[in-house]
Chains A and B, each alone.
Chain A
């Protein structure tokens, strides 16, 4: 079936370094992609999104890259901080249709002191 997957279940990064979290998606019809951050005991928190007509979008300390040719999505976090420790999910959907989000399994980002 269609799914969104992540390459690594856990990523450990030194505080202050940049983090890169990767994601592969399989549904060619998906045209809207979102990264969510989920801290323990909380619901997913929107970080950044990107539409399929773009290949890069920047936010505050975060950048999302979209490569539609290989169906790959990545989240870059600059100058990783202890507060960035969480599970990160990439998710895909099709805008203006059913809009249900398909989530991947998540990558746990662990910040080393």
Chain B
């Protein structure tokens, strides 16, 4: 257990529905990242926050995706009008900027299945 938690662990939804995932980072970590991982591939960067500011978004993050970190602690990732291609593992990671390394610690992920 890295100290990063994600909920839910699994989500099955029908195409067109909206889903929201939550990530709770390690408490003192000021950076929070979202990645997506499909079967047999490495995780791909989606977006990241430094405190409550969203500093970068990948081209993978279409307009249907939105992420927030309102108080600089937990974060949510929402996918609107889900498509079958959104089926993947969504991973959250956190790190401490200024902590000496950039080590990112990952949560267990939320596995999304879109039917």
Contact = CB atoms under 8 A, between A and B. Distances in A.
Contact of A44 (B43, B45, B56, B58): B43
A98 B56 contact: yes
A106 B43 CA distance: 10
B108 A42 contact: yes
A89 B42 contact: yes
Interface residues of B, number: 29
Interface stretch (B62-70, B77-85, B97-105): B97-105
Interface of B: 2, 4, 6, 31, 33, 35, 40-45, 48, 55-56, 58, 91, 93, 95, 97, 101-109
Contacts of A101: 33, 35, 43, 45, 93, 104
A102 B105 contact: no
Interface in A66-111: 89, 91, 93, 95-96, 98-106
B56 A91 contact: no
19 contacts: A34-B104, A43-B106, A44-B91, A44-B106, A45-B2, A46-B2, A46-B103, A46-B105, A91-B42, A96-B97, A96-B102, A98-B56, A100-B56, A100-B58, A101-B45, A101-B104, A105-B40, A105-B41, A106-B40
Contacts of B103: 34, 46, 49
